Amino acid sequence: MAIGWWSPQLNALLGSLVVAAGAWLAWDSFSLWGIVFVVGAAAGLLLWQGRTIGLVWAWATLLLGLESLAWPIVTMVQVRSITMEPTDEQMGAILSAVLTGIFSAVFWITFAYGLFKRASQPSSSVSTETLP
């Protein structure tokens, strides 16, 4: 049996790579083993939960939303581990991470909600009327 680009398994692999790229961007520095772990965990979750291509991408976008939500927290922890009193530049980085992280988290979680909602609805049959 040949696997086409439309198979949920291939989309789960692609989705796990997208989730790993998002984690790498959110955490700013990941070891190779960290990336391999994220790809493996995301691929396992997407294969387990993604029975269809729509569900695979719904879960992938939900994971991206959660990563975007965690990004400002990770940035604050990183700044806090460097110094007790952040500089103006570090405060600007925190503000940028909070604004961008919340905006992108709302976008990705809303997008995932729409994909989950679409996946739960029965597919409507396409009209096969012939045109005169």
pLDDT band, residue 126 (cuts 50/70/90): very low
Q: Are 47 and 12 in contact (CB under 8 A)?
A: yes
Average pLDDT estimate for 43-72: 92
Cα–Cα distance between 72 and 93 in angstroms, integer? Answer: 9
pLDDT band, residue 1 (cuts 50/70/90): very low
How many helices and strands, by DSSP H and E, does the chain display? 4, 0
pLDDT band, residue 65 (cuts 50/70/90): very high
Which range, of 25-29, 49-53, 114-118, averages the lowest pLDDT? 25-29
Q: Are 61 and 76 in contact (CB under 8 A)?
A: no
pTM comes to 0.81
Nearest C-alpha neighbor of 73 from the set 41, 27, 37: 27
Cα–Cα distance between 43 and 119 in angstroms, integer? Answer: 19
Taking the domains of the chain in order of start, what are their residue ranges? 8-120
